[in-house]
């Protein structure tokens, strides 16, 4: 939050951007709740810029890969820790349908591991730590933040923070694009000692417009004054640390939802996002980070039929308004689409290069039963479609 206050001064548009986004988010969530069909899995390409001086700060690929695994477990609610969510909160725990991948294509279209390493003369970075985001300072430039989530891994120290030692910090949507992304200490990446990789989960929450669950009103006279603008998180007084005992009550709630990723508890206790938080993050993507889910930063090479099922959505069915939509969660290698009638005659066929949203005009196709086949070099799925215009 201190970072945000500083950025409001350095980049004055940020404050207006935040307020406008808040209004649009509330509006968007209202509309979305009427339209429950939003099942698309969003895939976000990530680049890690590892800026090191000492060997220990030059963390191995394995830690970064593990970090990506943790993010996907947390955002898809697939961690086995979720069993620890108290019963009264289980119904609020959400699969956000947001996933992360190490980028496999750089901004120039070349193959990349998604990990960039820069040996720097600086042993540590001091405020303003954003200097690490520029190659001319010995750090690394952001890859276009429209298309990549940038994570800078470096040892740093911020001056006079109220909350003591900062493990990582993130920028909300609407800030300076050159700074967009997350800075994190090397020892917080992946599973390492007490760290279970959830600092980055928390920071990505901010990057997707989530506030701390207690509403950042801990310094106000009335600590229950503000919430986090999410409907299904209970109002709570202030942050929790460590591994609190359930229930922990404040602000007339049944208990603080301290096991939420947006509290300050230990990693082992950070277990869930709520449906409201998921809707807020998905809105942030659609409203401000839409290019990133259409990015060429990650190209999926489909290995199984299930993956195709997961990443391709076809709607509506039956098709009654003359338009059949095929939507891909990510770019897929060598994808072919064909629409056949029951005699197996091709009505339509297309090889996809870069588009991820395909619309087939069905208004001139006679009503009836059809089959749509989606295939890669090694896998294919076929779905029955009814056209009734
Ligand atoms: Zn935070």
Residue 371 has pLDDT above 80, yes or no: yes
Angle at 134 between CA 132 and CA 136, to 5 degrees: 110
Burial of 384 (0-12, 13-18, 19+ CB in 10 A): exposed
Task: Reply yes or no on whether the pLDDT at 353 is more than 80.
Answer: no
Q: Which of 99, 116, 188, 203 is catalytic?
A: 203
pLDDT-derived band at 40, boundaries 50, 70, 90: confident
Summarize pLDDT for 120-129 with one digit per residue, the tens. 999 999 878 8
Q: List, for residues 189-235, the tens digit of each pLDDT value.
A: 999 988 999 999 999 999 999 999 999 988 888 889 889 999 999 99
% of the chain at pLDDT higher than 70: 96
* Per-residue tokens: 258: 């301290």
When pLDDT is averaged across residues 20-36 and rounded to a whole number, the result is 87
CA of 272 to the centre of ligand 1 (A): 15
Between the CA of 225 and the centroid of ligand 1 the distance, in Å, is 19
DSSP secondary structure string for all residues of 60-100: -HHHHHHHHHHHHHHHTT--GGGGGS-HHHHTTB----EEE
Please check the confidence at residue 280 and state whether its pLDDT lies above 90.
yes
Q: Give one word for 193, left, alpha or beta, with left for phi > 0 and alpha for psi -120 to 50.
A: left
Domains of the chain: 2-294 (3.40.390.10), 301-387 (2.60.40.3080)
Helix%, strand%, coil% for the chain, nearest 5: 30, 25, 45
State phi, psi for 16 to the nearest 5 degrees: -60, -45
Please give the pLDDT value at position 90: 97
Question: 1-21: per-residue pLDDT in tens?
Answer: 788 988 999 999 999 999 999
Q: Ligand 1 centroid to 115 CA: how many Å?
A: 24
CA-CA distance, 205 to 276, in Å (whole number)? 12
pLDDT score for 217: 83
Q: 203 catalytic, yes or no? A: yes
Q: What pLDDT shows up at residue 122?
A: 92
In angstroms, rounded to a whole number, what is the distance separating the alpha carbons of residues 206 and 195? 19
Write out the E strands in 198-311: 299-300
* pLDDT attached to residue 35: 67
pLDDT interval class at 350 (50, 70, 90)? confident
Angle 198-207/61-75 helices, nearest 10 degrees?
A: 60
Give the list of residues 6+ apart from residue 206 with CB closer than 8 angstroms, or none.
170, 171, 172
Mean pLDDT of 75-89: 96
What residues are paired with 31 via a beta bridge? none
């Amino acid at each position: 939050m201190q970072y945000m206050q500083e950025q409001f001064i350095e980049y004055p548009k940020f404050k207006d951007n935040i307020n406008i986004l808040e209004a649009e988010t509330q509006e968007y969530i209202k509309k979305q709740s009427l339209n429950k069909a939003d099942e698309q899995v969003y895939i976000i390409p990530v680049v890690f810029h590892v800026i090191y001086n000492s060997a220990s700060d030059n963390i191995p690929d394995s830690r970064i890969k593990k970090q990506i695994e943790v993010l996907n477990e947390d955002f898809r609610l697939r961690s086995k820790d979720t069993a620890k969510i108290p019963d009264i909160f289980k119904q609020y725990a959400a699969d956000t349908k947001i996933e992360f991948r190490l980028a496999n294509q750089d901004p120039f279209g070349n193959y990349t591991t998604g990990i960039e390493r820069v040996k720097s003369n600086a042993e540590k970075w001091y405020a303003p730590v954003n200097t690490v985001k520029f190659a001319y300072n010995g750090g690394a430039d952001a890859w276009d933040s429209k298309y990549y989530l940038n994570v800078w891994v470096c040892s740093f120290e911020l001056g006079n923070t109220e909350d003591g030692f900062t493990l990582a910090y993130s920028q909300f949507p609407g800030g300076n694009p050159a700074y967009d992304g997350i800075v994190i200490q090397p020892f917080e990446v992946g599973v390492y000692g007490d760290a279970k990789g959830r600092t980055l989960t928390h920071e990505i929450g901010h990057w997707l417009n989530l506030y701390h669950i207690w509403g950042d009103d801990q310094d106000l006279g009335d600590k229950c004054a503000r919430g986090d603008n999410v409907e299904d998180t209970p109002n709570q007084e202030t942050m929790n640390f460590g591994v609190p005992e359930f229930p922990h009550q404040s602000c007339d709630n049944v208990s603080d939802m301290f096991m939420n990723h947006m509290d300050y508890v230990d990693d082992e206790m950070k277990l869930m996002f709520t449906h409201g938080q998921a809707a807020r993050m998905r809105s942030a993507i659609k409203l401000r980070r839409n290019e990133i889910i259409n990015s060429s930063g990650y190209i999926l090479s489909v290995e199984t039929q299930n993956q195709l099922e997961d990443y391709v959505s076809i709607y509506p069915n039956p098709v009654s308004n003359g338009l059949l939509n095929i939507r891909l969660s990510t770019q897929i290698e060598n994808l072919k689409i064909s629409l056949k009638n029951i005699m197996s005659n091709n009505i339509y066929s297309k090889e996809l290069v870069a588009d991820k949203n395909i619309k087939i005009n069905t208004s001139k196709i006679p009503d009836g039963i059809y089959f749509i086949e989606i295939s890669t070099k090694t896998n294919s799925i076929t779905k029955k479609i009814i056209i009734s215009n």
